[in-house]
Structure 1
Amino acid sequence: MTRVTIHDLRDARYCLAGVRPWFRRHGLDWQDFLTHGIDADRLRATNDALVEPVIQVAKTRAATMEASDGRA
């Protein structure tokens, strides 16, 4: 399970001023996202192609972290 965080949005160079209303339009809790991140599958369930690049950033981050922990 991949979790997308605010860091992933920034690394993907998404405009946070635009992302907040996007969360609202899709019924997603912005504050909960800031605190806990969000599951990639939940983002995909919005059927918005714009989520795929940030999910890829999150997957790359997770793989890098696992590799640096020796878990790869």
Structure 2
Amino acid sequence: MAHLRSVPGFGPKPGFCATGSRAFFARYGLDWTAFIKDGIDEEALLGTGDALAIALVEHARSCEQ
């Protein structure tokens, strides 16, 4: 969740909004509640092929280096 709220470059403030993120999870059949509780494997996000998901994974990777 920290990475989702801090990913840069998609608006005037960093991060993705919760409403849009919930819609994203629903669109791709991902479990929002499980994500909030336990996070999500990057493969699940990358598997969507969605540019925003890819940017989020790249951001998370850069934060963990």
Which TM class, normalised by the smaller chain length? 0.7 to 0.9
Find 1:23's aligned residue among 22, 25, 33: 25
The alignment covers a number of residue pairs equal to 58
Listed as ranges, the gaps of 5+ residues in structure 2 are: 8-14
Q: Answer yes or no: is 1:58 the counterpart of 2:60.
A: yes
| Paired position in structure 2 for 1:11 | 6
SS of 2:51's partner is coil
Partner letter of residue 34 of structure 1? I
Which 4+ stretches in 1 moved above 3 angstroms? none
Q: TM-score, normalised by structure 2?
A: 0.80
Partner letter of residue 11 of structure 1? S
Query: How far 1:52 moved relative to its partner?
Result: 1.6
Q: Report the identity percentage.
A: 36
When the two chains are superposed, the root-mean-square deviation of aligned CA atoms in Å is: 1.0
Query: How far 1:7 moved relative to its partner?
Result: 0.6
The structure with higher relative contact order (CA 8 Å, sep 6+) is 1
How far apart in 2 are the matches of 1:17 and 1:28? 14
How far apart in 2 are the matches of 1:51 and 1:21? 13
How far apart in 2 are the matches of 1:18 and 1:33? 14
